[in-house]
Amino acid sequence: MRPHRGSALLAALIIIGVLALVTVATLRLANISKGQSAKDARALSQAACVDAARQYLIGRLRLLSKFPLTELTFDQAIPVENGTRHIYSGHVRQQNGDGTFSGALPVIKSVRGVSASKVGGAKTGNRDLSNTIAPPTLGGKPYQVVVACSDPVAGDLELEFSFRYGL
């Protein structure tokens, strides 16, 4: 009687099947990694956009402005390769499908004064006088600010921060 043939073929089919499963698992892992990296890129884009809004607001501050600081508002449109980003003062607003804002603008004071005790503690009396040219009675007033960014791909994000401004 002849020996059984085909056992090598059966072993080769099993090995090919195992390699196919490993390949499919690797491709799925790569797809998950690609999706996660796109999500991370959108999050970085949102953070950079809202930080640009923060820097834009701080850049518009003037020490001797004729308008009070609490009336500082802005809405800037920035064209990018996949649409238009908006950086603006205030909270996130609703948008239409075409990227324009819908409904009435909310009445928000995006910059408002806060008490000194809420920003870094009450340090009105603490001042280093060693290198001071001005009289020691000067001190900045703390403000709380809300800025937001609307990105066509990454979505909307707002940032609320406090800072001390003025002499």
Quick one: pLDDT at residue 107? 47
Q: Which of 45-59, 80-94, 128-142, 148-162 has the lowest mean pLDDT?
A: 128-142
pLDDT at 135 over 60: no
* Helix, strand or coil, per DSSP, at residue 162: strand
Average pLDDT over residues 142-153: 83
Mean pLDDT score of the chain:
76
| pTM for this predicted structure | 0.60
DSSP labels for 110-151? SEEE--GGGSSS--SS----TT--S-TT--PEEEEEEEEEEE
Place of tokens 């820097």: 55
Rounded Cα distance between 136 and 147, Å, is 33
If you average pLDDT over residues 133-147, what whole number do you get?
66
Q: Are 115 and 10 in contact (CB under 8 A)?
A: no
pLDDT digits (tens, 9 = 90+) for 22-39: 999 999 999 999 989 988
- Confidence label for 86 from pLDDT (cuts 50, 70 and 90): confident
